[in-house]
Structure 1
């Protein structure tokens, strides 16, 4: 595997604007990305100043998504076909308890500044 670190921790939220205001206004996080997705959703990335891991309000990072997808499939894991996103190439799979986990090979757009 080529997973190097967790770049995003994804938190499902009921209201993006309210959640963003909480993390930025109350906790002092920085908002790095706040944009609409092609599907009409919203991708919001916030992080504490200087952090290497951000919080996505709406995935584990890899350096070679295709290699990791092939390795997961060889291990018997059902993995969705990778898709191009504004922030990089992404896919998902379910763990043994049915939780959806994502893998992201980020574009330059998807990195959290240091």
Structure 2
């Protein structure tokens, strides 16, 4: 095994979630019809190896249940400023011995931690 390739993010509305993740800096890798009227929306960060897919077809996946995934930022203050300019709400960063972290939530409440210096 080499890496985590894809993480499913449970969402209510795929298109609303897609717009949020585009603002967060993700790019669309694949968007195509899938099953039951859903779409396969696979996204990734420009320099990352792990992708996400926005899912709404797994009944056991509760939208908003994802917590604690960390996104590395070169400059957390610049990232927060850019996201705020896009209308994305970012929590005030907290300082820890291993860096600074700021939480951002998608429209369903899935929480991501921005990490940087």
TM-score range, shorter chain: 0.3 to 0.5
Calculate the TM-score normalised by the size of structure 2: 0.43
Q: TM-score, normalised by structure 1?
A: 0.45
